[in-house]
Amino acid sequence: MTPANHDAIPERILLGPGPSLADPRVLRVMSQPMIGYLDPAYLDIMNEVARNLRDTLQTKNAATFPVQGTGFSGMDSCFGTLIEPGDKVIIAVLGFFGIRMCEMAERYGANVVRLDQEWGKAFEPETIGEALKANPDAKFLAIIHAETSTGVLQPLQEIGALCREHGVLFLVDAVTSVGGVELAVDDWGIDICYSGSQKCLGVPPGLAPVTINDRALGVVAERATPPASYYLDLSLIKEYWGEAHVYHHTGPMAMVYAMQEALRIIMEEGLEARWARHALNGSALRAGLEALGLVLHAEAGCRLPSLTTVRVPEGVDDAALRGRLLNEFNLEIGGGLGPLKGNTWRIGMMGYASKRSNVLYLLSVLETLLTEAGLRPARPGAGMAAAQEVYLQSAEAQN
Ligand SMILES: *Cc1c(COP(=O)(O)O)cnc(C)c1O
């Protein structure tokens, strides 16, 4: 279906694995005038974006900026800037995005030591510790903080400490965590980290915030050959975002205006309040889904607030139900990836979209469609009632 004009683009409620909804404030600033990429007014915006990104990522790293491109440009720039052909790297895979890391590392000629965890569980630090002990010559260890394919939140703090102990750099994909779940780059010993604009930050797809510390930049400086990609070479991009503002590419200003506004919104809300909002809506959603008789996929104890995985119940047609959600109710949720394709739904509650009205609306529509498919809950309204209970208890706890 190709819309004949822009008015024909439907207004969806995006509760999938991304993109998420952007705050109308963010969309409005994107229509501001174009200016030159070295205009003093633009440089002021860049400086503010870098400053607020440091606060959001909880880092003092000077080299903190959004890389031009979607989340994978963050992955590509970090891997490409660090890896030289023949380098050994350890990649801890807990789902689809970890596999993508392995594929990317291999393209750059890395010798990948791959660790695998069952899809739906997090790694125990002991497993990572053993791999580090067996491979102290690895250049870095990479892991996904929030695995969007499985709905797992991987604890990082102990892994960061282990990497330090073994003198191996720690590289983290925080695409679905930044702005929705606590992440403390400096305190957790993370040396390089990238994210994406369209998940919990609530910006349209097109930017990948990256931070890299001096330790990792020191390793980059010792490369025998420059990175294969000029466009995604972090040591060059950082000179454009740094004080000297050395031309490297044309700043994608509409995207950077959007990032500026989204980061202002985050600073206004406060990081902790934002994490608490994501946690609350995540737990209300999970309670509601379980009350509808559905089974959550990710293991209890490591469930990601910003993305919930739930099994498609027996007898329900995955694609048909998601099609009805979209076409009749304007609701987008995601299907499964890899081994979870066809049997798991991925429900995002990210950024601007993470709110009570969306949780309750989705639960009520899901109940309607599941009832029509013959899966009537024990009590009408069971999903919404369970979610309401979570909100009530949270409100009471605050009083
Ligand atoms: C979405 C996502 C990416 C990729 O981002 P794109 O914007 O699609 O390029 C990478 N890693 C994780 C964990 C993601 O959820």
pLDDT digits (tens, 9 = 90+) for 160-202: 999 999 999 999 999 999 999 999 999 999 999 999 999 999 9
Q: Which atom of ligand 1 is nearest to the CA of 147?
A: 13
Q: Which helix (H) or strand (E) holds 272?
A: helix 271-291
Is residue 76 lining ligand 1, measured as CB closer than 6 Å? no
Q: Is the pTM of this model over 0.85?
A: yes
Q: Whose CA is nearest to atom 5 of ligand 1?
A: 71
CA 386, distance to chain mean position in Å, is 27
pLDDT in tens, 199-247: 999 999 999 999 999 999 999 999 999 999 999 999 999 999 999 999 9
CB atoms within 10 A of CB 247: 11
Distance CA(332)–CA(20), nearest Å, equals: 10
Do 98 and 143 touch, CB atoms closer than 8 A?
Answer: yes
pLDDT digits (tens, 9 = 90+) for 17-52: 999 999 999 999 999 999 999 999 999 999 999 999
* Letter string b/e over residues 103-142, b meaning 16 or more CB atoms within 10 A of that residue's CB: ebbbebebbbbbbebebbbbbebeebbebbeebeebbbbb
Spatial distance between the Cα atoms of 158 and 177, rounded to a whole number of angstroms: 18
174 Cα–ligand 1 center, Å: 9
Residue nearest to ligand 1 atom 6, measured at CA: 71
d(CA 233, CA 226): 9
Residue entry with tokens 């009083």: 399
Give the closest residue (by CA) to ligand 1 atom 14. Answer: 175
pLDDT of residue 378: 84
79 Cβ below 6 A of ligand 1 = no
**pLDDT of amino acid 213:** 98
Contacts 24+ apart (CB under 8 A), 376-379: 377/291, 377/292, 377/293, 378/293
Q: Which atom of ligand 1 is nearest to the CA of 176?
A: 15
Q: Phi/psi of residue 173, each to 5°?
A: -90, 115
205 lines ligand 1 (CB under 6 A): yes
Q: What is the pLDDT of residues 358-397, one digit of tens each?
A: 999 999 999 999 999 999 988 999 999 999 999 999 999 8
